[in-house]
Structure 1
Amino acid sequence: MMRWRAPAWLTVPMALGIAVVAFWVAVALTVDWWAPYEPLDMVGRRLRPPSPQHWLGTDALGRDVLSRTLHGATHSMPIAVSVVLCAVAVGSLVGAVAGYLGGWIDAVLMRAVDVTLSFPPILLAMAVAATLGPGLENAAIALVAVWWPVYARLMRAQVIAVKGQDHVSAAVASGVGRVRLLTVYILPLSWTPTLINATMDFGQVVLLAASLSFIGLGAVPPTPEWGAMISDGAVHFYSWWIALGPGVAILTVVLGFNFLGDGLRDLLDPRSQ
């Protein structure tokens, strides 16, 4: 009888990362159908500790903390996906153009990247979010403003490295146009570091979005967002269960994406093998 063996690339950390990420994605997609209570309903007495009726207790308004934690995935996970995708799109375009064209265009674009990276990410995100006003959409815009320069640098470095390879030189000698040369011969070989970095950044975006909500620059009450829930728990310090659920949720999401990113790096980057 043949026994199933896991593929060599499926390490324990990567399998754990896949399981955690898949769990929270499934929660975000299906929580409306099976959560114990609605996230905004006052279903019990206020500030009740964990019990068989409310596994993570209730908050200051009598809302079920477990239900609000589960519904928080419907806000935090889409923000992470939208911010990372937009940052990758903007940063990769800027980096590819700068690395491929070089010259004064490269100098101007990279100085803009340097200026953006000179600010601490959390302070820049706070400044942009404060200018735009509270709200998850504005928080997402602020996070894109923080993250795109990282991908611009990554893509620029890869494009510069790839465009000096022999197959690109042969394509230039055969008369391939600039656009086709970039999109067909260079970019497909330049995506690996961006993909790995983007996978790890999903968790970091969730963490930074929660930080903005914690200080009042993200989700607007009564939205069940993890950072806003932790902020409520900080107000009621002795009701520790209010912050426990969203805190564990953020921890598991960040760890899950980090494990997944490490696994992808080991799989796609020959230098790490």
Structure 2
Amino acid sequence: MSVLFLSRSARPRWLTPPLIVGAVLILFWLVATVAAPWMSAHAPLDMVGRRLQPPSWDHLLGTDALGRDVLSRTLHGARHSIPIAVTVVAFAVAIGASLGAVAGFVGGFVDTVIMRMVDVTLSFPPMLLAMAVAASLGPGLENAAIAMVIVWWPVYARLMRAQVLEVREREHVEAAIASGATQGRVLGKHVLPLCWTPVLISATMDLGQVILLAASLSFIGLGATPPTPEWGSMISDGASQFYSWWVALGPGLAILTIVLGFNFIGDGLHDYFDPRSR
């Protein structure tokens, strides 16, 4: 943490205080994902106190309408929200980047078909499309994850295609093609290694947005089902308890800090890979 107090000239330009703060926030929630049973004083489903008990020394964030400890449920919520975000982004990147790379490198009819699929998907508002898919599949985190992958993969397809179109015109790629290398070898060895930086930055920032979308789906009943301690469903429970503000405070702060953390890290990665920051 001492790097926070270094003078601006004593640290790299990309090593900014927001990046450090973001790393600390994400590290905390990663630890919570693994160690929630040891960090929390109570099990997330146990009724350990009075209903809607305000914050106290026994329950730092109070209890919900069933007498469950809000802090414990918030910490355990990381075990659902973070893995689902990583899974969604991983599948979206794998599908979108693969199709975008093929579209940009092969071109022609293949490019037209893939990009028309992308255009159709992106023509829908993301939240509306996710709601429609999740509603058709039924409630549950797994179905919500499928809906979010469908929403997110076109973003990476378009981004990867743009990168491939730019890189494939470089001299070393043309030289590889002229030397008789196969399309697969040229794409895998000479093109793709130079295309991943924007995808990595976008994926890092999207992790927070996926958590926010997953919470939104759970809030309206299309994501996690009770009694799962998921942040969106916990906020939904708190919304029905207007005067018991502490019920939604814990999961709300959790979403706020983790989205800010991933955004700060994404900005830091952008600065790191930007030659002007060196």
Q: TM-score, normalised by structure 1?
A: 0.97
Pick from 247, 260, 266 the counterpart of residue 242 of structure 1: 247
Paired-residue identity, %: 69
The answer to whether residue 211 in structure 2 is matched with residue 206 in structure 1 is: yes
1:140 maps to amino acid: A
**What aligned pairs does 1:182-193 form with structure 2 within 5 A after superposition?**
182-193=187-198
The answer to whether residue 170 in structure 2 is matched with residue 165 in structure 1 is: yes
Structure 1: distance between partners of 2:90 and 2:50: 42
The answer to whether residue 219 in structure 2 is matched with residue 217 in structure 1 is: no
**What aligned pairs does 1:119-198 form with structure 2 within 5 A after superposition?**
119-198=124-203
Where structure 1 has 5 or more consecutive residues not aligned to the other structure, the ranges are none
Aligned to 2:59: 54
**What aligned pairs does 1:79-94 form with structure 2 within 5 A after superposition?**
79-94=84-99
Pick from 110, 116, 119 the counterpart of residue 121 of structure 2: 116
1:161 maps to amino acid: E
Structure 1 residues 201-223: Cα deviation after superposition (integer angstroms, max 9, x where no partner)? 00000000000000000000000
2:43 maps to amino acid: E
CA drift at 1:269 = 2.8
Structure 1 residues 67-118: Cα deviation after superposition (integer angstroms, max 9, x where no partner)? 0000000000001100000000000011000000000110111000000000
**What aligned pairs does 1:11-90 form with structure 2 within 5 A after superposition?**
11-90=16-95
User: The residue matched to 1:164 in structure 2 has which SS?
Assistant: coil
Aligned 8 A contact 1:27 1:70 in 2: yes
* C-alpha RMSD of matched pairs (Å): 1.4
Structure 1: distance between partners of 2:82 and 2:121: 25
Structure 1: distance between partners of 2:198 and 2:68: 43
Aligned 8 A contact 1:139 1:218 in 2: yes
2:126 maps to amino acid: P
1:181 maps to amino acid: V
The answer to whether residue 261 in structure 2 is matched with residue 256 in structure 1 is: yes
Runs of 4+ in 1 over 4 A off after TM superposition: 3-8
Q: TM-score, normalised by structure 2?
A: 0.95
Aligned 8 A contact 1:139 1:209 in 2: yes
Bigger mean CA offset, 24-33 vs 58-67 = 24-33
Aligned 8 A contact 1:192 1:269 in 2: no
1:233 maps to amino acid: G
CA drift at 1:7 = 4.4
Bigger mean CA offset, 173-182 vs 262-271 = 262-271
Aligned 8 A contact 1:265 1:272 in 2: no
